[in-house]
């Protein structure tokens, strides 16, 4: 990410990375092999209060390439890129170019796009060598710990996942 940028979203993401890097804090729970802290919940709650605002998200800036990302796939409907704070040996996101804030806000007209996101997740997972399996996650809203209000599909793999998550 841009180390010169002082925007609020970038500061929040850096703070989140910092929290994950110091994962020895008591009270943290395992989630998909990584850590899930009170800060994640706080960021999700703050983001949920801002979700109705028309301001672009960090993912909008990845799409328009105004900030760097390790893009591993793109087409006219979506983009896949590596997560900046991976929770598994392979962790990437698939996002639609059209800004849908939450999966729960997707319209019936979005059916084809939503299916496309999953097909691309499958194709990129195969390309990334995840033949033994992987996990697909979509967080929705405050209780789902969604911290960026632009629909995104997490694909995590490269190790044995445990159940239940989070």
Active site residues: 152
Give the ranges where 51-158 is alpha helix by DSSP (H): 58-63, 111-127
Q: How far apart are CA 78 and CA 62, in angstroms?
A: 11
Which residues, including other chains, have CB under 8 Å from residue 68's CB and lie 6 or more apart?
1, 2
Q: Are 130 and 136 in contact (CB under 8 A)?
A: no
Exposure of 135 in the CB half-sphere (CA atoms within 13 A): 20
Q: How far apart are CA 104 and CA 42, in angstroms?
A: 20
C-beta neighbour count of 110 within 10 angstroms: 17
């Amino acid at each position: 990410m841009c180390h010169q940028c002082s925007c609020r979203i970038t500061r929040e993401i850096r703070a989140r990375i910092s929290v994950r890097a110091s994962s020895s804090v008591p009270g943290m729970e395992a989630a998909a092999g990584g850590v899930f802290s009170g800060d994640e919940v706080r960021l999700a709650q703050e983001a949920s209060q801002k979700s109705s605002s028309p301001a672009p998200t960090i993912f909008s800036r990845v799409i328009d390439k105004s900030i760097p990302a390790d893009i591993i796939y793109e087409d006219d409907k979506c983009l896949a890129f590596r997560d900046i704070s991976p929770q598994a040996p392979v962790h990437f996101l698939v996002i639609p170019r059209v800004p849908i804030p939450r999966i729960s806000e997707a319209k019936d007209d979005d059916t084809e796009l939503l299916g496309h996101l999953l097909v691309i997740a499958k194709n990129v997972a195969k390309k990334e060598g995840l033949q033994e399996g992987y996990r697909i996650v979509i967080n929705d809203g405050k209780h789902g710990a969604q911290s960026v209000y632009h629909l995104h599909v997490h694909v995590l793999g490269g190790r044995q996942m445990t159940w239940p998550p989070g």
